[in-house]
Structure 1
Amino acid sequence: MLSTLRIERRADADPHVRESVKYRRPISIATMHRIRATLRHALNMAMRQDRLIDFNPAAVLEMAAHTRPKALVWTDDRVRAWQQDYRSYREREKQRRGGRRVDLIDAYTSVPRPSPVMVWTPAHTRRFLKEAKAHRLFALYQLIALRGLRRGEACGLRWKEVDLDGHTLTVNWQLVQLAWEVHEGAPKTDASVRTIALDTDTTQVLRAHRQRQLQERLTMGEDWTDTGFVFTQPDGNRLHPQHVSDQFLWLAYLAGLPPIRLHDLRHGAASLMLAAGVEMKVVQETLGHTSSAFTADTYTSVYPQVATAAAEKTAALLFGKEDQAEPGKLISLRS
């Protein structure tokens, strides 16, 4: 009931009503299933060990089936269809507001997408990184785009866990946002605690980021707060994860790209690795997944290039020909 109310308020025409539920995400079906599983386990333990109850009500609780949304790539056709819907939505909003200004990012994120999980093409990701290069959090976005860190893992990364000479970093902590409050804690699962290899370019980007941070520290003087985090506010305090997401959406809009969630940039990193021919086990360990089966089920069909390359390599066994699909042509969002 509470989730339904939040969904209704999120779509309300009154901006003050929408603001009242901002950053308060509805409880998803997947989360409900996890909550039920936890309760069922706890009640089973109470039955077996403490004999406090003789019936487990969580075992017979009926819930809607959970189907994990399929990740889709922003192909040219999907981008064109979304652009048309986006322009129509802005025009309707402008008329509804009596000609008053329409919030660009609100419109940008409100238009329905082919799937809740959308992935940029390699060409899209290159364009985003080019747009983000001058931003003070550019290194964070490149880490997510190439190495697939979760938002909380990137925000919780500390310099003591980064070895620039050895081209590695270790994920030991994360920052978690609950409503608006931020909490520090362990990564999502045991598999999420991992050491990740860094490419030369990302290592150089992190070195440049450290120099910029040292300059900010000198500028702030005694007002600097030494938290030890790699990515901080200009005064050294930890980042708020929502600020990272908000800046990401703004940069994506400025780059003229179709919208994705910041977490989808992580999905894109997985797809890029698979398209580059990286072994499934390596992709799984880089992302911090518990099993390679989950990685395979989620990502192997995202990029058309992956399926095309597999088909060409199979045919090459018979005909001796190989081909590699090129990324689709980029279509600008701006009209």
Structure 2
Amino acid sequence: MAQGSILKICTCRDQDGKKLGKRCPQLRRAGGAWNAHHGKWGYQLELPRKVDGSRRSLRRYTFDSKDDAAKDRDQALTLLALAGDDTALATEIADLLQQVKAGAPMPDRDTIAKRVSAGLPASVDMTVGEYLRQWLESRRTIEPSTIRNYGCHIRVHLIPHLGAIPLVKLLVEHIAAMFTAITDRNTAIEVARQSEDPQIRATVRGIRTTGPASMQRIRSTLRKALNDAMARSNNRLIDFNPAKHVELPSAKQPKPRVWTDKAVARWRETGKRPSPVMVWTPQQAGAFLDYAQDHDIALYPVFVGIMHRGMRRGEALGLRDTTVDLHNALVTVDLQRTTVGYDAVDKKVKSESGNRTFALDSFTAAAWRAYLTRRAHWQQVNGSTWPTTGWFFVQPNGEKWHPDTVSKRFDSLVRRAGLPPVRLHDLRHCAATYLKASGADLTDVKELLGHSTITITSNTYTSVIVELQVERDKAEAAAALVPRRRRPRDA
């Protein structure tokens, strides 16, 4: 590669108005030395040809000393050397050099090297949006549900607010402004919901606000992506992670509250729940199970298991015949059936504490035995079309349950039964509350629910047992605490 020539020129003009450039006699003193008070130093460097094959050169004459000109020229040569034998990249870098304005510094060599290494054009700043899309694509080996969450955060929040900012210029202030805008949007949604104008209320129907927990998860996604940008081997894209230094409101989990008579009356009057997480009284729980047994016998045993033994929805649907031992009244949880988007997927439970074995109470064991009798009848009716899956809870046609179907049918049963609303997951809270109220200690509750620490159990449940304090034996008493209507036999 040609090293270019360094020379001194000036802007003086001759009598015809033409610039003298390096021909100006004032550039040198009488003895031939350079005149330090006249002209500017610069250089001329042959550049890679244009796309059309035409020749071009880089000329920069804005320097006060020969050393400054040489340093700038060497920076240009260093940038051109990044291309190696890649002629297309050499043309891109030459285009970049010609775009640098007179007097402006040359682009930083390491910054351009990072762009080139990332597969981006040398002449374009990598934006936050470009990096996040590239980063998400590189994360395809992790859990599909995690990928979906990352993608949602990037698409809905991060790119709209931060996408156009150059990655290397992303600041704490930019991220803080994003969360301020999200908070302002939340306020606007709530104001619209309270409007007396039905047309205004209609504009936010079905639109969710972004709560503190969601904001924490959005920041977590950005923080992870920026950490990876700092940790890239050989080429760190950034040297500072601003997402680590953004302060957000605490994302405390809502405390479960009990549907007392007073809470139910207020809900019927206003439609508002005391808390997002609600727990039925034992009488309400018994009324639900009675209604489910009469109106959805196929899912009734699933609800019994969640209500009495505190399983998550996915854990109950992930049971297999090999993990349910009704003879010894023992159940092992090691798989879960959950969703990614709307697609149902089967996978191992998330944590070691979630992988657990627990005892069944006699009531749940009896309900599950009756279920197996019904399941055998379903299989006999379907004959050769019955699929052999090995899953414990299946539909009457033998197919596995879709988790969302189970939740929708639960919600429908609650509405039709006229009971105050709870989520299907809240049956797990019911189980824990009844167990604690029946005399079990927090360690028993922690082990049953599969919590990783007793702190989680304590923080969640110690505030809801005041109205449910009774003396019972542990697992057996927790089931007996739920009153049921007498029947000739357990169908």
TM-score, scaled to structure 2: 0.51
The one-letter code matched in structure 1 to 2:254 is P
Cα distance in 2 for partners of 1:25, 1:180 equals: 19
Identify the residue that residue 88 of structure 2 maps to in structure 1. none
Q: 1:68 to 1:37 in 2, by over 3 A?
A: same
Shift of 1:178: 2.8
Task: Give the secondary-structure state (helix, strand or coil) at the position aligned to 1:289.
Answer: coil
Identify the residue that residue 257 of structure 1 maps to in structure 2. 419
Cα distance in 2 for partners of 1:25, 1:233 equals: 33
Is 1:122 the counterpart of 2:263? The answer is no
The one-letter code matched in structure 2 to 1:40 is R
Is 1:60 the counterpart of 2:220? The answer is no
Equivalent residue runs for 1:187-202 within 5 Å: 187-202=349-364
Cα distance in 1 for partners of 2:344, 2:243 equals: 31
Identify the residue that residue 272 of structure 2 maps to in structure 1. 112
Identify the residue that residue 223 of structure 2 maps to in structure 1. 40
Task: Give the secondary-structure state (helix, strand or coil) at the position aligned to 1:191.
Answer: coil
Per-residue CA deviations over 1:89-109 (Å, capped at 9, x if unaligned) read: xxxxxxxxxxxxxxxxxxxxx
Cα distance in 2 for partners of 1:39, 1:169 equals: 40
Identify the residue that residue 227 of structure 1 maps to in structure 2. 389
Cα distance in 2 for partners of 1:169, 1:176 equals: 19
Is 1:266 the counterpart of 2:451? The answer is no
Cα distance in 2 for partners of 1:29, 1:183 equals: 28
Is 1:174 the counterpart of 2:357? The answer is no
Identify the residue that residue 265 of structure 2 maps to in structure 1. 80
Shift of 1:34: 4.0
Query: Contact 2:439–2:470 (CA<8 Å) still a contact in 1?
Result: no
Task: Give the secondary-structure state (helix, strand or coil) at the position aligned to 1:185.
Answer: strand
What root-mean-square deviation, in Å, do the aligned CA atoms of Structure 1 and Structure 2 show? 3.3
Shift of 1:199: 0.9
Identify the residue that residue 304 of structure 2 maps to in structure 1. 142
Equivalent residue runs for 1:17-28 within 5 Å: none
The one-letter code matched in structure 1 to 2:464 is V
Per-residue CA deviations over 1:204-243 (Å, capped at 9, x if unaligned) read: 1111111111111111112212222111122211111111
4+ residue segments displaced more than 3 Å: 1-8, 24-29, 34-51, 61-65
Task: Give the secondary-structure state (helix, strand or coil) at the position aligned to 2:345.
Answer: strand
Task: Give the secondary-structure state (helix, strand or coil) at the position aligned to 1:30.
Answer: helix
Per-residue CA deviations over 1:261-308 (Å, capped at 9, x if unaligned) read: 1111110110000000112111101001111111011001113235x6
Query: Contact 2:333–2:356 (CA<8 Å) still a contact in 1?
Result: yes
Cα distance in 2 for partners of 1:141, 1:232 equals: 13
Identify the residue that residue 371 of structure 2 maps to in structure 1. 209
Query: Contact 1:169–1:198 (CA<8 Å) still a contact in 2?
Result: yes
Identify the residue that residue 292 of structure 2 maps to in structure 1. 132
Cα distance in 1 for partners of 2:210, 2:332 equals: 31
Identify the residue that residue 30 of structure 1 maps to in structure 2. 213
Q: 1:227 to 1:25 in 2, by over 3 A?
A: farther
Identity over aligned residues, as a percent?
40
Query: Contact 2:255–2:461 (CA<8 Å) still a contact in 1?
Result: no
The one-letter code matched in structure 2 to 1:251 is L
Per-residue CA deviations over 1:35-93 (Å, capped at 9, x if unaligned) read: 544653565476468472421232124444312212110000111111223xxxxxxxx
Cα distance in 1 for partners of 2:363, 2:415 equals: 25
Identify the residue that residue 254 of structure 2 maps to in structure 1. 69
How many residues get paired? Answer: 279
The one-letter code matched in structure 2 to 1:136 is A
The one-letter code matched in structure 2 to 1:248 is F
Shift of 1:244: 0.9
Query: Contact 1:148–1:269 (CA<8 Å) still a contact in 2?
Result: yes
Query: Contact 1:271–1:299 (CA<8 Å) still a contact in 2?
Result: yes
Q: 1:26 to 1:241 in 2, by over 3 A?
A: farther
TM-score, scaled to structure 1: 0.73
Q: 1:193 to 1:42 in 2, by over 3 A?
A: farther
Query: Contact 2:317–2:337 (CA<8 Å) still a contact in 1?
Result: yes
Cα distance in 2 for partners of 1:197, 1:26 equals: 40
Task: Give the secondary-structure state (helix, strand or coil) at the position aligned to 1:146.
Answer: helix
Cα distance in 2 for partners of 1:160, 1:38 equals: 38
Query: Contact 1:25–1:179 (CA<8 Å) still a contact in 2?
Result: no
The one-letter code matched in structure 2 to 1:133 is Q
Moved more, 47-56 or 125-134: 47-56
Identify the residue that residue 103 of structure 1 maps to in structure 2. none
Shift of 1:31: 4.5
Identify the residue that residue 282 of structure 1 maps to in structure 2. 444
Query: Contact 2:442–2:457 (CA<8 Å) still a contact in 1?
Result: yes
Q: 1:309 to 1:225 in 2, by over 3 A?
A: closer
Cα distance in 1 for partners of 2:251, 2:419 equals: 30
Cα distance in 1 for partners of 2:400, 2:381 equals: 17
Is 1:299 the counterpart of 2:461? The answer is yes
Larger Rg belongs to: 2
- Normalized per residue, the structure richer in helix is 1
